Amino acid sequence: MNAPLAAAALALVLTLLGCAGTDHNQTSAPNAVPSEQESTSPTPSLDGTPFSVIAAGTQSAPSFWPPLTFTAPDGWLTEPAADGFLSLMPDTAENRERIQGGGPPVTFLNVLPNIGVAAEDCGESAAPGVGPAAGDIVGALATRAGLSTSGPVAVTIGGLSGQQIDVSIASDWTGNCSGGGPFVPLVYSPGFISWGAEPGEQFRIIVLDVAGLPSGMYATVMIVIYSAEAAAWNDHLSASTAVVETFEFDTSPPGP
């Protein structure tokens, strides 16, 4: 990844995946398996940010693997330079104000490759003993101390099958990292994401298994629907689910 794209991707992840007011998250540009990219024909970027209004209609996620197409509705933002992951957010006045001010958005929808479960001790590492499959990842989140959960449930999206769970921090949880406010580590990928839940945040986490890989390889896709405010959750979940229902993954076996 060249320097401008790496910088844009880093800015995107720091904004979208950062928890406001904490230093629990560290990110860097992910490694991606290249795939053919189609133009989203976005309008000019928002002032001072890497984000653009995404054109409504059929789009492909840049350099995502397995190749992903989806239907974008009117009124969503994206980051066209994001390589290897897809980031979308509703084009609301509050989200625009937040991102133009350098802060995290209130609501977003992200699609990420090969994300695992974070260690419970707040260390920059994966949780030991958790397997790579969707059921392993979601099952570990379902039993994590400090979370209030709904699920897991089996799902099939765009030709891939996996597990879905809704999570938020339990109202009586007081555990934290480095003496901050209540916090529960959630997901982790080396050199990319170390990410957790704080009070008021709502998450739907969907993990899909990628079939058809050569022997000895394993891959997953993680879809995250997020709201920083409980009051915004139901409307955002409904709008994001409508987008996710248009997802189509190219499940053709990879070449040698």
Domain boundaries of the chain, sorted by first residue? 3-249
- Say if strands 57-60 and 52-53 run parallel, antiparallel, or are unpaired: unpaired
- Say if strands 147-157 and 116-117 run parallel, antiparallel, or are unpaired: unpaired
pLDDT at 10: 32
149-174 in b/e form (b: 16+ CB < 10 A) is bebbeebebbebebbbbbbbbbeebe
pLDDT at 47: 59
Count of CB atoms situated within 10 Å of the CB of 102: 11
Evaluate whether 98 touches 108 at the Cβ level (below 8 Å).
Answer: no
pLDDT at 5: 26
| Cα distance between residue 53 and residue 46, in whole Å | 8
Q: Return per-residue pLDDT of the chain as tens, 256 residues.
A: 222 222 333 333 333 333 333 333 333 222 222 233 333 343 445 555 678 889 899 999 988 989 999 999 999 998 876 778 999 999 999 998 888 888 888 999 999 999 999 999 998 999 999 999 999 999 999 999 999 999 899 999 999 999 999 999 999 999 998 888 999 999 999 988 888 999 999 999 999 999 776 666 679 999 999 999 999 999 999 999 999 999 999 987 665 5
Count of CB atoms situated within 10 Å of the CB of 137: 26
DSSP, res 231: G
Evaluate whether 163 touches 152 at the Cβ level (below 8 Å).
Answer: yes
Position 207: which residue type? Answer: V
pTM of the model: 0.81
Count of CB atoms situated within 10 Å of the CB of 126: 18
